[in-house]
Structure 1
């Protein structure tokens, strides 16, 4: 049909020339210009219709009806059903393992070897001549977990039918803090799809010890949270188990690193010796906090103790003294008895320098004091002892029951963020911003009872949360991150460094030099690409900073999670591609749109009708 592409224009030109010549020779010269225009328009529209029909015919000849692309996770039953319905379907894959296991599959290197409409790709080296991919398939059946985003883009928004496999009992999402400081909680959060009947147990283990567990109901997608405070320092790999009774369904790795925190120096102000301060200072000392305790003995006389710290004189509280500390913990009574100059020094250090102030509310003090302004305390009317069922507001984890006498609680306002509540929703610890620093008030005065009852974990969790929430933030030289969060061996990992350094610099990854590009919009961000070649811990260091470690997983780790993420990404990408091809859009590759074709036919009919009427009624006169 290619020769007609030359004959048709020639015939159209000859026909136009004949009409012009016939109109010029006609004796009746009336309407000759209009007749010439109508004749040219009729022949032009006829030629355009021919071009449209030939283009569509050429496309239908070159198109393959349907093909199949296999990706990891492809169902053999789905392949057999498609081949049974249409035995002539070609099957392609980019995975050598799939090609070896499926004798019908043809191995290709890239999906762009399946060409777009109207294009003819050369036969790749990996294919023989009789295995070449036919041009422009009308429909692609995509089986398995799907393709990467760039591979989907290479398919030119073809009509893709996605056939994902059914994944039973799998993690839908998961995340945890990869790096934490000593005393900080390791929190593993996510969601699990238990799409079968029967309860499952998720268990976090470390060094052959069960650390936390949670139950997942049957036939339900449930969120979960597991947490613990690691006792060891350095890098470790915990395990999350999914158990159905005694059967282990999944065993996945949770790698993280515990680093030593910069010492936090704390100034404690006590109005008198008591058990709460005694147990607290002992716990702070054991956990390597630098502590100065100033206890009031009598008017203007104090007893001062120094734990893990020296060379500081605490007789008078002023800005010079407070520059040595990250946090002040004080009884409300002790704080209220400070001189005006000392109170002003603490307020200035909190609001301007970011010092934290933790108030242990042992009495109702004047509301005019700056540290009382965000808080309003409500005394309990009960005369007998009460059992408090406390839990942390952020995680909702319950703490052991604590018995206390006439507890006070804090009125919850928009200015506050609750830290500790009871099951009735009453707030017993809350924090508020105060300039650059933070204020935190707690009305629980006998947390040492947890230690006396042997529950040191609850005591440690309680005070770690309060100190972490309130203490002065430390400045870091650089921040490191790796994307994706679950990095796989032999897959690209995007390394990102946040640094104020304006000079180009490179990072060393496992002794390999990786050059980082400065981001144009965010100049403090530097990015580079690295392909881990081995499973396990990877080290990253730039300039003279301490190395940052991340974990590269093997191909057998988090299989179902990665599969579900890829399926979700493919569904989203294909739904967006369908949205761009809705009826009425102007995206047509070959031929004219239907409404354009109708306009051309109408022009041809109108022109021919005019020429017939003009010849019939005007030329005969």
Structure 2
């Protein structure tokens, strides 16, 4: 404002001086020259700024992914306009007569088109890991590739040797006629199921017979035509020996056969059997340095994972021993498995309030009843009683009228299991070893507490593929480095980022280049991950991408126009224009006064 007032005063002064001169010749020129000198000073001090409009920038783009339909692309270009930019991701073929730019990942989209407001995705879609790289960008999905093959499948990636294992999933409907779904393992078909409708849910079972890594095969055939084939990678684990403490009020065939079965399978067993009042017998199998079994103490329970007992043994525990047992269960030190051989459960049982025994009639209790549990062989046993189902119980084995005969209750960090089957040893006498093993494996596994690991490596991607990020999480690794070994490549060291909320967590990102088994290592912890080929398991990966895109935060949306003007440049006039105008005007005034 000060400069403006000074300029106006100077212009007024020069105008007055030009008008007061007696010589009336060139008076108009003198006034114009005075005003021009003032304008020149103003242009030199404050040069004007000129806005230059930028070129039009697109707000809508098209991204091609694998298996996109050219017809859908042509229809979309007719609707959006032929100038709409088209990009493609690795794995998508270039459109005919159009050499589109290939993008390595979703981050490149934001770098090429920073003002993008809408992205049309054709084909199978992007990896779910790419969605966070497109925050607030509305995604328009054009899943024009028809659903085919296996749409979903789940299985235990680390089954235990000798234990029943299953794979369940969904097959998309294939034409007309039935379809056979088969599981191939160890070079042969291990199980199969017929789908009369040509698709639908299925479940196949197998018992692994060898430890180590293996890639089973899941295939679907309609007649002689192969409909779909997918790999099912597993890492079969060796059985973990179980530490069992058996408390029996008196000798019995049930606990005797259980003791011998556990010892034959290399489990650690300690047995305390009552013989008479004040007289007990102890026995140890596969247990070096056996402890004293006189009283239940925290040190004694810390050496075992499951306490198998009967009602009379629990009822004979004192108050201090019962409290010690309940504390051990709540803290996850051990679990309790009770063979309920009495109609009333002892109050010393941890979590006893959740269990209610329902006696059956004497006639019904004398007839063997079929028992059912997941992946169970044909089994039948005497059922003297059942358990009343409640929301606090998880049924393990069901009997007559689908009433539970064995159930588990979570108590703190541990588990309490109660079974009303008091005679399972006839299976061992009848040469039904598989039934006997499956029954006790079901109960002991439920009662076994979760083992605490000093460290772990977790894969956060369900279906990793080459050239897509594989996110890994380390738990309790501390400052140890994370190494990853890929097939036929050198071992890589990955940078880890500490988690902002959980101090024991850290994450790392790995970009696999080839399919197959990859090993991650941190400290003494080893973990294998399988990377699938790009065409494999396309159905589950598409569903995962669609869910991630649907849950992505919504952006401002696209406008009616597909282009928007880019903000232009600001151009400042050169200052010498002002100096030249000032010198020209001042020179005229000086020269005109001399004439």
Q: Deviation of residue 379 (structure 1)?
A: 0.9
Q: Deviation of residue 226 (structure 1)?
A: 4.2
Choose which of 441, 462, 470 in structure 1 pairs with 2:447: 470
Alignment coverage as a number of residue pairs:
502
* SS of 1:94 mapped into structure 2: strand
CA RMSD of the aligned region, Å?
A: 4.1
Q: Deviation of residue 317 (structure 1)?
A: 2.7
Residues 98, 258 of structure 1: alpha-carbon distance in 2 compared, 3 angstrom cutoff = closer
Choose which of 558, 565, 581 in structure 1 pairs with 2:537: 558
1:201/1:214 contact within 8 Å kept: yes
- Structure 1 or 2, whichever has the larger Rg, is 2
1:581 matched to 2:557: yes
1:288 matched to 2:269: no
Distance 1:564 1:253 in 2: 18
**TM-score normalised to the size of structure 1?**
0.69
CA deviation string 1:336-372 (max 9, x = no partner): 3456665455344334563211111122356433354
> What does residue 101 of structure 2 align with?
108
Distance 2:379 2:99 in 1: 66
Residues 183, 269 of structure 1: alpha-carbon distance in 2 compared, 3 angstrom cutoff = farther
> What does residue 152 of structure 2 align with?
173
Choose which of 408, 433, 448 in structure 1 pairs with 2:425: 448
> What does residue 361 of structure 2 align with?
381
Residues 140, 311 of structure 1: alpha-carbon distance in 2 compared, 3 angstrom cutoff = closer
Q: Deviation of residue 428 (structure 1)?
A: 0.6
Distance 1:559 1:167 in 2: 11
Q: Deviation of residue 476 (structure 1)?
A: 0.6
Residues 436, 282 of structure 1: alpha-carbon distance in 2 compared, 3 angstrom cutoff = same
Q: Deviation of residue 468 (structure 1)?
A: 1.8
> What does residue 235 of structure 1 align with?
213
Residues 351, 81 of structure 1: alpha-carbon distance in 2 compared, 3 angstrom cutoff = closer
**TM-score normalised to the size of structure 2?**
0.72
> What does residue 233 of structure 2 align with?
255
Q: Which deviates more from structure 2 when the two are superposed, residues 355-364 or residues 209-218?
A: 209-218
* SS of 1:497 mapped into structure 2: strand
1:358/1:470 contact within 8 Å kept: yes
> What does residue 505 of structure 2 align with?
525
CA deviation string 1:400-451 (max 9, x = no partner): 24042x5211112233222222362311111224454322110112333444
Choose which of 371, 381, 387 in structure 2 pairs with 1:390: 371
Choose which of 65, 69, 77 in structure 2 pairs with 1:75: 69
Equivalences for 1:49-128 in 2 at 5 Å? 62=56, 69-79=63-73, 92-95=86-89, 98-99=92-93, 102-110=95-103, 112=109
Distance 2:458 2:132 in 1: 27
> What does residue 285 of structure 2 align with?
307
* SS of 1:465 mapped into structure 2: helix
Distance 1:313 1:157 in 2: 64
Distance 1:558 1:513 in 2: 29
Name structure 2 gaps, 5 residues minimum: 1-50, 486-490, 567-595
Q: Deviation of residue 210 (structure 1)?
A: 4.5
1:67/1:141 contact within 8 Å kept: yes
Choose which of 242, 248, 252 in structure 2 pairs with 1:264: 242
Choose which of 475, 489, 493 in structure 2 pairs with 1:513: 493
* SS of 1:402 mapped into structure 2: strand
1:539/1:547 contact within 8 Å kept: yes
Distance 2:196 2:267 in 1: 42
1:413 matched to 2:390: yes
Distance 2:232 2:394 in 1: 31
* SS of 1:145 mapped into structure 2: coil
1:112/1:154 contact within 8 Å kept: no
> What does residue 328 of structure 1 align with?
307
* SS of 1:540 mapped into structure 2: strand
Residues 160, 509 of structure 1: alpha-carbon distance in 2 compared, 3 angstrom cutoff = closer
2:311/2:346 contact within 8 Å kept: no
* SS of 2:541 mapped into structure 1: helix
Residues 209, 158 of structure 1: alpha-carbon distance in 2 compared, 3 angstrom cutoff = closer
Distance 1:66 1:268 in 2: 71
1:318/1:342 contact within 8 Å kept: yes
2:179/2:198 contact within 8 Å kept: no
Distance 2:197 2:539 in 1: 18
2:220/2:227 contact within 8 Å kept: yes
Equivalences for 1:123-272 in 2 at 5 Å? 142-147=121-126, 162-182=141-161, 186-194=165-173, 196-216=175-195, 218=197, 222=201, 224-245=202-223, 247-260=225-238, 263-272=241-250
Q: Deviation of residue 214 (structure 1)?
A: 4.6
Name structure 1 gaps, 5 residues minimum: 1-54, 120-135, 592-621
